[in-house]
Chain A
Amino acid sequence: MNLFTIALKSIRQRLLASSLTALSVALGVALMIAVLIANTVVSKTFDLQGFGYDLIVGPQGSELDLVLNTVYRIAPPIENLPYRYYEELKENKHIGIAVPIALGDSTEQGNFPILGTTVEYFAVEYAQGKKFRTSAEWPNGKWESVIGSSVARENNWKIGDEFKMVHAGQDDHVHDEKFKIVGILEATATPNDRTVFVNLNGFYAIAGHEKPIQEAIDREVEFFGETEAEVRAYHAADLKEMEAHAGHDHSGHDHAHHHDHATPDLQKEVTAILVRMKEDPKNPTLAQSRAIEFSADLKEGFKAQAVNPIRPMQRLMTYLVGNVRLILINLTAIIIVVSGVSIFVSIYNSMSERKREIAIMRALGADRMAVFSIIITESIILCLAGAILGILLGHGLIMFASPILEARTGLSIDPFVFDPMELTIIPVMIGLAALVGFIPGLTAYRTDVAENLSS
């Protein structure tokens, strides 16, 4: 029988007190783990280092809102940009790829964000070295859609299924138009998993998505700083066509109309434009400096902004999430220390009734170090059992909470993500155990054998 077994025995002797103290350690550690995992996931999610675009171009306003809306689809769109601006960017000689994005509606079932875009969106890596993959087709056709893996799973949608979308706004109007699923994306562990992608043309063709003509003209006047005549001249061809159809019934649900005619550019809007600058193989930093230059230029001219998405997210991380994390980690550390104190109290209280046992062991030939070690071992067993239970509990907690969190925020949390800091919990807990076991251990060390044998 070694010291470990002896320690284990005396823990079992006081099973209730021992389990309660170990449990208090476990709860502290579980909370710590939950904070660590949540933090890892949040940092990973908000780290756009490998984001496939240099800039997000959107209406002026909060940079953070623009990124949260465009990338994470968790904030409502600020406003929209004229489609004509997207076309201009496409022609910009410094811009390599410009992908339009239209957001604002969601699915009737599951309330997933619907994103209208072109198939170019899927050609750009969603993260460093990671390409989109579809199970079948890309949404090339006007009423075609591909859906993220979580959408497919949670809505139980399959290829060939059709769905309607709900208009964002107070009325919660359900559009009558239906999109057909032609592909399901492979999981990306990004907000794309919770997004429904529809063909941009289909998105515009939905009744009510086209901006009323005069409103659209006024918007462009303001946006580009042109006169109404200039705007009208720019869209002359479209306007003429529209006049020709003036007699047509627009108010009813005449979908044939939408199927037959493309929405005129004047009436189209985009929520944001994802931009990748032209790259120069000989000068790898050129794209970067072009992006900086471009966004600086925008600040002065149009009512638009170009944002490098990494920066607002980094600010969010350091100033907000980072501090919250620090507070939470300190709180959980305090909880763990308190639970360590409870181990101390539990062992220390047992010492007076155990003096006799210690004296017996000494009489059987145990030296002072042996009885000291037994007490320390007890403390370590309790702390370690608590820590291991806590680690399991923490991951369990995340496993239980992650679907709820994902449904609420769209952030997916893998409960089995492992934070390297978890590794430090074990040695830290052993240290804590040695610390709280030291004084009771010392009591054991100093126990007077003769005195306690005779009592």
Chain B
Amino acid sequence: MSLELKNVRKNYREPNGHDLPVLDIPHFKLETGEQAALVGSSGGGKTTLLNVISGITKPDSGEVLIDDIEITRLPEAGRDRFRAERIGFVFQTFNLLPAFTAFENVLLGMSFARGKADRSHAKQLLESVGLGHRLTHKPAQLSVGEQQRVAIARSLANRPSLLLADEPTASVDPANQETILKLIGEICREHNVSLLLVTHSPEIATQFDRTIPLQEFNKVLQNV
């Protein structure tokens, strides 16, 4: 999988009516199978960038190409479908639906893609994140670290080619941060998934192939 951004701009409108530029990225590229850590201070636009890549947020201009498909040209429902089938997503916290068990949360990840839910694949994924014995636990019965592992398993449910992780260890206790990051790295390598992981902690970033400071390619941050 390759990811490429060209001339992507995103402004937010502030309550006072002024435009707040958040992203201005002339070019950004992530190679197939590459694992990159995106670092930058809080409010720098990291989350916005991930949302633009995943098609949740439409940039004001520019192109986002994933495997040479220009997703910025797709209609919203098309981007949703693309996201369902090709992109895995792990957020900072509360990734899971409280009414669903760990296993069902993984199945839910399969619900919005074409094709039938592959239950054995769901089970395998939970086993590979070390939660084979927690299938029927509800999120409330799991620790934050375990919840994040379920979220990681779920993000790979549809065999995506790109995994986006937005500060996945921010709410996890320090002792577990390491293991979870390792897990993400390993599982992506194992399934041949490209990884773009956002963090504001430079130490975490060193674990991955490439560390990219956001200000390096986001011109909004350079002008300040």
User: For A366, what are the chain B residues with a Cβ–Cβ distance below 8 Å?
Assistant: 80, 84, 111-112
Known: A369-B77, A449-B56, A450-B56. A364 touches B112 (CB 8 A): yes
B99 pairs with A1, CB closer than 8 A: no
- Residue A367 interfacial (CB < 8 Å): yes
- Residue B51 interfacial (CB < 8 Å): yes
Instruction: State the CA gap A364–B54 with chains docked (Å).
Output: 10
Instruction: State the CA gap A325–B116 with chains docked (Å).
Output: 51
B111 pairs with A1, CB closer than 8 A: yes
- Residue A442 interfacial (CB < 8 Å): no
- Residue B97 interfacial (CB < 8 Å): yes
A360 pairs with B107, CB closer than 8 A: no
- Residue A362 interfacial (CB < 8 Å): yes
- Residue B94 interfacial (CB < 8 Å): yes
Shortest beta-carbon distance, B86 to chain A, in Å?
9
Instruction: State the CA gap A3–B108 with chains docked (Å).
Output: 10
Interface residues of A in 1-39 (CB under 8 A from B): 1-3, 6, 9-10, 12-13
Known: A12-B99, A454-B47. A363 touches B76 (CB 8 A): no
- Residue A361 interfacial (CB < 8 Å): yes
User: For A450, what are the chain B residues with a Cβ–Cβ distance below 8 Å?
Assistant: 47-48, 51, 56-57
- Residue B110 interfacial (CB < 8 Å): yes
User: For A13, what are the chain B residues with a Cβ–Cβ distance below 8 Å?
Assistant: 98-99
User: For A364, what are the chain B residues with a Cβ–Cβ distance below 8 Å?
Assistant: 83-84, 89, 108-109, 111-112, 154
- Closest A residue to B57 by beta carbon equals A450
Shortest beta-carbon distance, A380 to chain B, in Å?
18
Instruction: State the CA gap A361–B84 with chains docked (Å).
Output: 10
- Residue B104 interfacial (CB < 8 Å): yes
Interface residues of A in 355-381 (CB under 8 A from B): 356-357, 360-370
- Residue B85 interfacial (CB < 8 Å): yes
Q: Interface digits, A66-103 against B, CB 8 Å rule (1 contact, 0 not)?
A: 00000000000000000000000000000000000000
Shortest beta-carbon distance, A382 to chain B, in Å?
15
User: For A362, what are the chain B residues with a Cβ–Cβ distance below 8 Å?
Assistant: 56, 80
A360 pairs with B95, CB closer than 8 A: yes
- Residue B100 interfacial (CB < 8 Å): yes
Known: A356-B94, A367-B76. A1 touches B56 (CB 8 A): no
- Residue A327 interfacial (CB < 8 Å): no
Q: Which of B81, B107, B108, B113 has the most chain A CB atoms inside 10 A of its CB?
A: B108
CB < 8 Å neighbour of A363 from B56, B85, B111: B56
A10 pairs with B99, CB closer than 8 A: yes
CB < 8 Å neighbour of A365 from B80, B94, B100: B80
Task: Give chain B's interface residues, CB within 8 Å of chain A.
Answer: 47-48, 51, 54, 56-57, 76-77, 80-85, 87, 89, 91, 94-100, 104, 107-113, 117, 154, 158
Could you list 4 further interchain pairs (A-B, Cβ under 8 angstroms) beyond the known A356-B94, A357-B97, A365-B112?
A: A363-B83, A364-B109, A366-B80, A367-B77
